[in-house]
Amino acid sequence: MRLIILLLFLLAACPRALLAGPPFQTDDPEPVPYKHFEYYTFSSAGSTRLETDSLGPAVELNWGAVPNVQLHLIVPAAAAFPSDGSAAFGMGDIETGIKYRFIQETSHRPMVGTFTMLEMPTGNSDRGLGVGQLWARIPIWIQKSFDPWTTYGGGGMVINHAPGARDYPFSGWLLQRDIGKKWTLGGEVFYHGPEGIGTPSPRSATMVDLGGYYYFRNPGFQLLFAYGHNIAGQTENYAYLGLYWTWGPKSAKGD
Protein backbone atom coordinates (compact mmCIF):
# COMPACT_ATOMS: atom_id res chain seq x y z
CA MET A 1 0.00 0.00 0.00
CA ARG A 2 2.87 2.39 0.78
CA LEU A 3 4.17 1.91 -2.78
CA ILE A 4 0.78 2.69 -4.34
CA ILE A 5 0.35 5.85 -2.25
CA LEU A 6 3.87 6.95 -3.20
CA LEU A 7 3.19 6.41 -6.91
CA LEU A 8 -0.08 8.32 -6.82
CA PHE A 9 1.62 11.24 -5.10
CA LEU A 10 4.51 11.34 -7.56
CA LEU A 11 2.25 11.10 -10.59
CA ALA A 12 0.11 13.95 -9.26
CA ALA A 13 3.25 16.08 -9.18
CA CYS A 14 3.77 15.66 -12.94
CA PRO A 15 2.40 18.43 -15.19
CA ARG A 16 -0.06 17.12 -17.78
CA ALA A 17 1.82 18.98 -20.54
CA LEU A 18 4.47 16.58 -20.27
CA LEU A 19 8.77 4.64 -19.79
CA ALA A 20 10.58 -2.50 -20.40
CA GLY A 21 7.40 -2.18 -22.41
CA PRO A 22 5.81 -0.02 -19.84
CA PRO A 23 4.11 -0.69 -17.51
CA PHE A 24 5.79 -4.11 -17.38
CA GLN A 25 9.40 -5.08 -16.73
CA THR A 26 9.50 -7.35 -19.80
CA ASP A 27 9.98 -5.36 -23.00
CA ASP A 28 8.96 -6.01 -26.60
CA PRO A 29 10.85 -5.80 -29.93
CA GLU A 30 8.36 -3.49 -31.68
CA PRO A 31 9.76 0.04 -32.25
CA VAL A 32 7.74 3.21 -32.55
CA PRO A 33 6.54 3.58 -36.18
CA TYR A 34 8.70 5.73 -38.44
CA LYS A 35 8.24 9.48 -37.79
CA HIS A 36 6.01 8.77 -34.77
CA PHE A 37 6.59 9.70 -31.12
CA GLU A 38 5.68 8.23 -27.74
CA TYR A 39 5.62 10.35 -24.60
CA TYR A 40 5.17 9.10 -21.02
CA THR A 41 4.99 10.74 -17.64
CA PHE A 42 5.26 8.12 -14.93
CA SER A 43 6.41 6.95 -11.54
CA SER A 44 7.78 3.51 -10.74
CA ALA A 45 9.04 1.89 -7.57
CA GLY A 46 10.80 -1.25 -6.46
CA SER A 47 11.39 -2.43 -2.92
CA THR A 48 13.29 -5.11 -1.05
CA ARG A 49 13.79 -5.58 2.68
CA LEU A 50 16.88 -3.36 2.42
CA GLU A 51 15.49 -0.39 0.50
CA THR A 52 12.66 1.15 -1.51
CA ASP A 53 13.75 3.02 -4.65
CA SER A 54 11.48 5.09 -6.87
CA LEU A 55 11.62 7.05 -10.10
CA GLY A 56 9.23 9.93 -10.58
CA PRO A 57 8.15 12.33 -11.71
CA ALA A 58 9.88 10.97 -14.80
CA VAL A 59 9.53 11.69 -18.51
CA GLU A 60 10.12 9.18 -21.31
CA LEU A 61 10.36 10.05 -25.01
CA ASN A 62 10.59 7.53 -27.86
CA TRP A 63 11.05 8.50 -31.52
CA GLY A 64 10.78 6.38 -34.66
CA ALA A 65 13.91 7.86 -36.22
CA VAL A 66 14.06 5.48 -39.21
CA PRO A 67 12.00 2.40 -40.12
CA ASN A 68 12.49 -0.38 -37.54
CA VAL A 69 14.61 1.85 -35.27
CA GLN A 70 13.48 3.70 -32.14
CA LEU A 71 15.53 6.20 -30.11
CA HIS A 72 14.76 6.28 -26.38
CA LEU A 73 15.28 8.72 -23.49
CA ILE A 74 14.14 8.80 -19.85
CA VAL A 75 14.87 11.77 -17.56
CA PRO A 76 13.80 10.96 -13.98
CA ALA A 77 13.69 12.37 -10.51
CA ALA A 78 14.63 9.68 -8.00
CA ALA A 79 14.15 8.82 -4.35
CA ALA A 80 15.78 6.26 -2.06
CA PHE A 81 14.32 5.05 1.24
CA PRO A 82 16.88 2.76 2.94
CA SER A 83 15.64 0.66 5.83
CA ASP A 84 18.52 1.79 8.05
CA GLY A 85 19.15 5.39 6.95
CA SER A 86 17.73 8.71 5.82
CA ALA A 87 15.66 9.18 2.69
CA ALA A 88 17.24 10.95 -0.29
CA PHE A 89 15.66 12.84 -3.20
CA GLY A 90 17.17 14.27 -6.38
CA MET A 91 18.07 13.67 -10.00
CA GLY A 92 18.27 10.03 -11.08
CA ASP A 93 20.34 8.32 -13.74
CA ILE A 94 19.29 9.32 -17.28
CA GLU A 95 18.47 6.37 -19.54
CA THR A 96 19.17 6.33 -23.29
CA GLY A 97 18.63 3.49 -25.71
CA ILE A 98 18.10 2.16 -29.23
CA LYS A 99 15.46 -0.41 -30.14
CA TYR A 100 16.10 -2.24 -33.42
CA ARG A 101 13.71 -4.78 -34.98
CA PHE A 102 15.67 -7.05 -37.33
CA ILE A 103 13.01 -9.71 -38.06
CA GLN A 104 9.47 -8.71 -39.06
CA GLU A 105 6.43 -10.61 -37.81
CA THR A 106 4.45 -12.70 -40.30
CA SER A 107 1.52 -15.08 -39.89
CA HIS A 108 3.98 -17.89 -39.08
CA ARG A 109 7.01 -16.04 -37.72
CA PRO A 110 7.46 -13.82 -34.65
CA MET A 111 9.17 -10.45 -34.75
CA VAL A 112 12.61 -10.26 -33.12
CA GLY A 113 14.61 -7.28 -31.98
CA THR A 114 16.93 -5.82 -29.39
CA PHE A 115 16.60 -2.82 -27.08
CA THR A 116 20.05 -1.85 -25.80
CA MET A 117 19.97 0.75 -23.01
CA LEU A 118 22.71 2.85 -21.45
CA GLU A 119 22.27 4.37 -17.99
CA MET A 120 24.13 7.68 -17.64
CA PRO A 121 25.60 8.39 -14.15
CA THR A 122 23.67 11.62 -13.53
CA GLY A 123 22.27 10.61 -10.13
CA ASN A 124 24.23 11.09 -6.90
CA SER A 125 25.54 7.61 -6.07
CA ASP A 126 26.70 8.68 -2.59
CA ARG A 127 23.03 9.33 -1.71
CA GLY A 128 21.73 6.17 -3.40
CA LEU A 129 20.16 8.06 -6.33
CA GLY A 130 22.34 6.52 -9.02
CA VAL A 131 24.99 3.92 -9.72
CA GLY A 132 27.89 6.34 -10.20
CA GLN A 133 29.11 4.79 -13.44
CA LEU A 134 27.86 4.11 -16.94
CA TRP A 135 26.12 0.72 -17.21
CA ALA A 136 24.22 -1.14 -19.91
CA ARG A 137 21.31 -3.54 -20.49
CA ILE A 138 21.62 -5.78 -23.58
CA PRO A 139 18.57 -7.99 -24.39
CA ILE A 140 16.91 -9.91 -27.21
CA TRP A 141 13.07 -9.75 -27.36
CA ILE A 142 10.57 -11.87 -29.34
CA GLN A 143 6.87 -11.11 -29.96
CA LYS A 144 3.90 -12.84 -31.62
CA SER A 145 0.29 -11.67 -31.88
CA PHE A 146 -2.85 -13.82 -32.15
CA ASP A 147 -5.61 -11.21 -32.06
CA PRO A 148 -6.83 -10.40 -29.42
CA TRP A 149 -3.82 -11.99 -27.67
CA THR A 150 -0.21 -10.80 -27.72
CA THR A 151 2.78 -12.52 -26.12
CA TYR A 152 6.39 -11.41 -25.93
CA GLY A 153 9.54 -11.95 -23.93
CA GLY A 154 13.21 -12.80 -23.91
CA GLY A 155 16.18 -11.81 -21.82
CA GLY A 156 19.74 -10.60 -21.68
CA MET A 157 22.48 -9.25 -19.43
CA VAL A 158 23.04 -6.17 -17.33
CA ILE A 159 26.68 -5.04 -17.56
CA ASN A 160 27.52 -3.02 -14.45
CA HIS A 161 31.08 -2.58 -13.18
CA ALA A 162 30.32 0.15 -10.65
CA PRO A 163 31.60 -0.36 -7.08
CA GLY A 164 29.18 -2.59 -5.16
CA ALA A 165 27.52 -3.85 -8.35
CA ARG A 166 27.89 -6.89 -10.58
CA ASP A 167 26.83 -8.19 -13.98
CA TYR A 168 23.65 -10.29 -13.86
CA PRO A 169 21.15 -11.95 -16.22
CA PHE A 170 17.47 -11.12 -16.59
CA SER A 171 14.55 -12.64 -18.48
CA GLY A 172 10.80 -12.30 -18.71
CA TRP A 173 7.72 -13.41 -20.58
CA LEU A 174 4.32 -11.70 -20.86
CA LEU A 175 0.84 -12.57 -22.11
CA GLN A 176 -1.82 -9.89 -22.60
CA ARG A 177 -5.29 -9.62 -24.10
CA ASP A 178 -7.39 -6.80 -25.53
CA ILE A 179 -10.75 -6.59 -23.76
CA GLY A 180 -13.20 -4.48 -25.73
CA LYS A 181 -12.08 -1.07 -26.93
CA LYS A 182 -11.02 0.35 -23.57
CA TRP A 183 -8.79 -2.22 -21.87
CA THR A 184 -5.72 -4.37 -22.40
CA LEU A 185 -4.80 -6.56 -19.42
CA GLY A 186 -1.84 -8.86 -18.97
CA GLY A 187 0.59 -10.61 -16.70
CA GLU A 188 4.28 -11.44 -16.76
CA VAL A 189 6.86 -13.61 -15.06
CA PHE A 190 10.14 -11.71 -14.66
CA TYR A 191 13.48 -12.94 -13.29
CA HIS A 192 16.70 -11.14 -12.44
CA GLY A 193 19.95 -12.40 -10.95
CA PRO A 194 21.71 -10.93 -7.89
CA GLU A 195 22.12 -7.21 -8.61
CA GLY A 196 24.89 -6.18 -6.25
CA ILE A 197 27.17 -6.90 -3.35
CA GLY A 198 26.00 -6.12 0.16
CA THR A 199 25.16 -7.38 3.64
CA PRO A 200 23.06 -9.42 3.62
CA SER A 201 24.12 -10.54 0.17
CA PRO A 202 21.47 -9.71 -2.50
CA ARG A 203 19.76 -12.67 -4.13
CA SER A 204 17.97 -13.29 -7.39
CA ALA A 205 14.20 -12.88 -7.60
CA THR A 206 11.39 -14.26 -9.73
CA MET A 207 8.32 -12.02 -9.84
CA VAL A 208 4.75 -12.14 -11.12
CA ASP A 209 3.40 -8.75 -12.25
CA LEU A 210 -0.16 -7.92 -13.31
CA GLY A 211 -1.23 -4.75 -15.11
CA GLY A 212 -2.44 -3.19 -18.31
CA TYR A 213 -3.71 -0.16 -20.15
CA TYR A 214 -6.90 1.89 -20.14
CA TYR A 215 -7.61 3.79 -23.37
CA PHE A 216 -9.26 7.19 -23.05
CA ARG A 217 -11.50 8.61 -25.81
CA ASN A 218 -8.41 9.55 -27.76
CA PRO A 219 -6.73 6.23 -28.73
CA GLY A 220 -3.33 7.90 -28.45
CA PHE A 221 -3.87 8.69 -24.75
CA GLN A 222 -3.66 5.89 -22.18
CA LEU A 223 -3.37 5.14 -18.47
CA LEU A 224 -0.74 2.47 -17.66
CA PHE A 225 -0.54 0.52 -14.40
CA ALA A 226 1.13 -2.58 -12.94
CA TYR A 227 1.95 -4.17 -9.61
CA GLY A 228 3.95 -7.29 -8.79
CA HIS A 229 5.53 -9.35 -6.04
CA ASN A 230 8.17 -12.05 -5.89
CA ILE A 231 7.23 -15.73 -5.94
CA ALA A 232 10.81 -16.96 -5.41
CA GLY A 233 14.10 -15.50 -4.20
CA GLN A 234 14.46 -12.31 -2.23
CA THR A 235 11.37 -10.42 -1.08
CA GLU A 236 10.66 -7.78 -3.72
CA ASN A 237 7.81 -5.58 -4.97
CA TYR A 238 7.33 -3.65 -8.21
CA ALA A 239 4.83 -0.92 -9.13
CA TYR A 240 4.26 1.41 -12.10
CA LEU A 241 1.72 4.15 -12.81
CA GLY A 242 1.85 6.44 -15.83
CA LEU A 243 0.17 8.37 -18.61
CA TYR A 244 1.03 7.82 -22.27
CA TRP A 245 0.58 9.83 -25.47
CA THR A 246 1.50 8.91 -29.04
CA TRP A 247 1.29 10.89 -32.26
CA GLY A 248 2.66 11.03 -35.79
CA PRO A 249 1.70 11.33 -39.46
CA LYS A 250 -0.96 8.89 -40.61
CA SER A 251 1.04 8.17 -43.74
CA ALA A 252 3.76 6.59 -41.58
CA LYS A 253 1.44 4.23 -39.75
CA GLY A 254 2.24 1.22 -41.91
CA ASP A 255 6.04 1.70 -41.80
Concatenate the DSSP letters of all residues of 35-98 into one string: T-EEEEEEEEEEEESSEEEEEEEEEEEEEEEETTEEEEEEEEEEEEEETTS--EEEE--EEEEE
- Banded model confidence at residue 198, pLDDT cuts 50, 70, 90: low
Distance (Å, whole) CA 191 – CA 172? 6
- Secondary structure (3-state) at 241: strand
Assess contact for 241 and 225: CB atoms under 8 A.
yes
Q: Quote the percentage of the chain above a pLDDT of 70.
A: 89
How confident is the model at residue 12, as a pLDDT?
35
| Distance, C-alpha 205 to centroid of its chain | 17
Q: How many Cα atoms are found within 13 Å in the side-chain-facing hemisphere of 169? A: 8
Residues 2-247, CATH architecture: Beta Barrel (2.40)
Over residues 93-107, mean pLDDT: 97
How confident is the model at residue 1, as a pLDDT?
45
- Banded model confidence at residue 18, pLDDT cuts 50, 70, 90: very low
Query: Domain residue spans in the chain?
Result: 2-247
The verdict on pTM exceeding 0.85 is: yes
Residue 109: pLDDT over 90? yes
Residue 197: pLDDT over 80? no
How confident is the model at residue 49, as a pLDDT?
87
- Banded model confidence at residue 195, pLDDT cuts 50, 70, 90: confident
Distance (Å, whole) CA 115 – CA 25? 13
Over residues 171-193, mean pLDDT: 97
Distance (Å, whole) CA 80 – CA 30? 32
How confident is the model at residue 6, as a pLDDT?
44
Over residues 93-118, mean pLDDT: 97
Which of 2-16, 193-207, 212-226 has the highest mean predicted lDDT (pLDDT)?
212-226
